[in-house]
Structure 1
Amino acid sequence: MQTARRLAQLPQPARLTVLSDGSGPAAAYAQRITGAGDRLGIAVTLLGYSDRTLVDLAQGDEPVLALLPLPDGLTRAMLSEAIGADRDVEGLHPAHLGQLVLASPTLVPPTAQAALYLAEALAGTLKGKTVTVVGASAVVGCPLTLLLLAAEATVSVAHAATGDLIALTHAADIVISAAGVPGLITAAHIRPGAIIVDVGLTRTDAGLCGDVDITSVMGKAAARTHVPDGVGPVTTACLMRNVVDLAARKQDPTNRA
């Protein structure tokens, strides 16, 4: 595994601080991250949002991951300003997103990267394919759209104000849903043989659910990812790679930023 090999070559251990309110999917993701860190030898510290102020975060030197939902009064912009681009493991700092717009990314948001990898694994080359992304968040939808454009896909983006969702999704070779609405995507939303990447993750009375109504699309979709254990494990792997990337840059003696 390339990440493990690169980690072993670092002069100092890599570390990661994870902020979470401890509820819902955030708790499940935090557990997955901790497990991955243990296996790789990355020291992961789990903290609640009440355990650290922005001043505390600004004075640290380890990468920081802030899991949704954020507490009232805290925004992504405030977090980015506090930790800076060199500790932003999510790739959401304006410096990283700006490079993504220029198609020369320095650090890619892990969930968006994972969704791209899975789309390519299921569909092959994305060049010339039509893709509909459902959800336009800064964490997934927006960076994923930029990655898909760089892969020369033809991309449509749906969001909360989209009037005719079915028209957009039914026209697509690939549907990637990151809306966080359980059962949103049904057989009516896809063409026969379409590929579905389900990024949604919501805790319901039945457990963790994705955006796709699995029973409905079975037999119509050519391939689909599972929830859980579909995009999630790939996202974690991408996150760990980002941790190692940031650690390597920080520990590089030629880096005098």
Structure 2
Amino acid sequence: MEMAQRTDIGRVRDLNEDSIGLLQTKSGAVIAIVADGMGGHQAGDVASRTAVDTIEKVLSAESLDASTEEKSDLLLHAVGKANETVYSLASQNSQFQGMGTTVVAAIADENEVVLAHVGDSRAYMLHKGGLYQLTEDHSYVNILRKHGQITAEEARNHPQRNMIVRAVGTNEEVEVDLINTPWGSEDVLLLCSDGLTTMVAEREIGLVLSSTTMTLEEKADRLLRMALDAGGTDNISLILLKHTGRSTRS
């Protein structure tokens, strides 16, 4: 499996409130996490970093050579633990009050990708030249779009497009979406914060990922550059995993 990761403060924000995690376990499975924090002074940074660290700690202590259901349960437990930890920090420290974070976390091995998702960070799969969004945004504008009250184009430019309706750490309990998909040789998994997807159209992302002339590192650089060139109004984070067709055991 090939891996690339990028995170950037962007051109407008004073602080990078995104956090990412990427590690390969002894079983060969890869743990990948993107979190986009929110809150007052530096609180978003604390929320996202705490969530990533907690999920990594929980998952890396387990054998991930497991069934789809077991991996889903592990992710659910890990995100639940992250929620508990962030919520506790926010409750005990006035400067962190109300902080929270999106999370999209993946366990990827040579057969499948299992995902946990909260918020509006996204997971995509490039498969046979087509780009497929695996997650569904937990956002106010997505609810409006699903109910036919606004179009997809209006959603892209809506003044409340950053308002999410589900986050890690803002309540005692969190509802987590669990998704799994098989994947195979040459497929590419993209995890990203909305700093990429609000700046770069899906079609453009798909064109970069399906390029046969760029390495995975070059594709990561290109996506980041495109988001910055489009304005970089938010922090930008992304992780790319490419299935090489060989065993992930190192």
Answer 1 or 2: which has greater helix percent: 1
> Which protein has the larger Cα radius of gyration, Structure 1 or Structure 2?
1
Answer 1 or 2: which has greater strand percent: 2
Q: Which has the higher contact order (CA 8 A, sep 6+)?
A: 2
**TM-score above 0.5, yes or no:** no
What is the TM-score with the length of structure 1 in the denominator?
0.27
